[in-house]
Amino acid sequence: MASLASPQTGLWEAFFGSKSRELVRMLSMSRVDSPIACDLNALTPEERARRRIVLGAVAQTIIGRSELANGFELSFDAARLDLASLGEWIGLERRCCPFLHFRLDIEPAGKTVLALIGGRGVKEFLRTEMSG
């Protein structure tokens, strides 16, 4: 059975057009790790203040942290976590830290896990940030 994400399927081309194979090839060739550098100036002063508030609220709901090969996975108390706040924080964070990759997993039973991952050096950067 063909994967839905395969350029050979009609569904893929329906979503991404007839040039999808070329697009996939170009994206895979252009995969370069961004430099590990946070730029809080990418946010307005109001957004930086909001980021601090939202991060504080989200951080209070973290109930677990585990190491991954290329970053960390955070588990949240689903009963206390405000998903809109988590989404807002991710939206702000990805603008000032474009080297981070975010993977959010929300299970039907409510378990919520966020993976913060990236290229070479990201795990060490995150470890320093989380311990400080």
End-to-end CA distance of the chain: 48
The SS3 of residue 124 is helix
The predicted model gives 63-86 an average pLDDT of 96
Angle (deg, nearest 10), helices 83-96 and 45-59: 130
Q: How far is CA 85 from the centre of its chain?
A: 14
**Is the pLDDT confidence value at 29 over 60?**
no
| Total-model pTM | 0.73
- The correct CATH number of 40-131 out of 3.30.70, 3.40.50, 3.30.1360, 3.30.2000 is 3.30.1360
Q: Which of 51, 129, 41 is nearest to 87 (CA)?
A: 51
The SS3 of residue 110 is coil
**Is the pLDDT confidence value at 22 over 60?**
no
Q: Which of 7-21, 52-66, 76-90 has the lowest mean pLDDT?
A: 7-21
Can you tell me the distance from the alpha carbon of 5 to that of 55, in angstroms, rounded to the nearest whole number?
A: 34
